[in-house]
Structure 1
Amino acid sequence: MRRGSKVIRVVYRWRVKEESFANFKEVWSRTTNNIHETVPGALGSFMLRSPEDKTEVLTVAKWDSVESWKAFWVAENPSEMVGMREIGERISVTVYDEVDDFTR
């Protein structure tokens, strides 16, 4: 991590039709792994799905700094995420500073 920079988490909220979820998950998996391997500062991602509303999906990406994420997010529609946007509707994108993380 760069000196003086803060790790951030970016929460993408999606609406994905239940019958499209398996395809969305497959495309997301390829996309997030490709971003993690090729985009400077990308530290991986995980996905959450609401048990009450199966169409509500969150993807949470970890970045080494807000500057790295902004470099990736320049036009708010990175080409790497086109496949996901073709399957699901991106509802929102919110950036959070990571304060602490005790996950293993």
Structure 2
Amino acid sequence: MKSMDRSGTRARMIARCWPAARASCSGATTCRPAARSGCPEVQVARRPTSIRVMYRGKVKPGQEEAFATAWRGITRWMRTHVSGARGSLLVRSAEESLVFVGIARWASRAAWEASQARSPQDPELLAHVQAMRATAERSRPPAFHEEVSDLTLGGEGEEDRT
């Protein structure tokens, strides 16, 4: 950026230009806001980001352990057999013991979509999927989130496969 005077002009330019630059990046390393905006070109460091897919659902009473077992089975199968699958975390609501939230980590949205496009043919995976469907009462559609920072330690003694 150009040198600015001490009256806060630089701060105002950053406040005005940064949202425009960020919106124009789309994964590029050079962001160019609209020429007529008067904003300079901005260099940004971009790294490929993982996504998190969040699932929320209610389990049938008495089926909590069967649901968790099926979730673990699906996650382990996916990590072994599906490119881009990075594992998951399953938590239970402290307020509603039948409500579970699963947070799956994927290398990209495209990797997740590719995994969803094929039907479970493997007998082991199919058994886990059927068990999960049999134990779930209702669920919400998955929600997608871009990973910004992950400071958690690996779970169950498994290595972090970042």
Category of TM-score, reference length = shorter chain: 0.7 to 0.9
User: For residues 28 and 9 of structure 1, what CA distance do their matches in structure 2 show?
Assistant: 16
User: For residues 17 and 51 of structure 1, what CA distance do their matches in structure 2 show?
Assistant: 16
Unaligned runs of 5+ in 1: none
Aligned match of 1:16: 59
- Pick closer, same or farther for the CA change 1:28–1:95 going to 2, 3 Å: same
User: For residues 41 and 82 of structure 1, what CA distance do their matches in structure 2 show?
Assistant: 23
User: For residues 24 and 68 of structure 1, what CA distance do their matches in structure 2 show?
Assistant: 24
Does structure 1 residue 31 correspond to structure 2 residue 74? yes
SS at match of 1:69: helix
Does structure 1 residue 84 correspond to structure 2 residue 127? no
User: For residues 113 and 91 of structure 2, what CA distance do their matches in structure 1 show?
Assistant: 23
Aligned match of 2:151: 102
Unaligned runs of 5+ in 2: 1-45, 154-162
SS at match of 1:101: coil
Q: Give the fraction of aligned pairs with identical amino acids, expressed as a percent.
A: 30
| TM-score of the superposed pair, with normalisation by structure 2 | 0.56
1:44 to 63, 87, 108: 87
| TM-score of the superposed pair, with normalisation by structure 1 | 0.85
More relative contact order in 1 or in 2 (CA 8 Å, sep 6+)?
1
Aligned match of 2:111: 68
Q: CA deviation digits over 1:14-71, x for unaligned, max 9?
A: 1102311011111111111101111000000010100110111011100011110111
User: Could you say which structure has the larger radius of gyration?
Assistant: 2
User: For residues 11 and 85 of structure 1, what CA distance do their matches in structure 2 show?
Assistant: 17
Aligned match of 1:56: 99
SS at match of 1:10: strand
Greater strand percent: which structure? 1
Aligned match of 2:19: none
SS at match of 1:58: strand
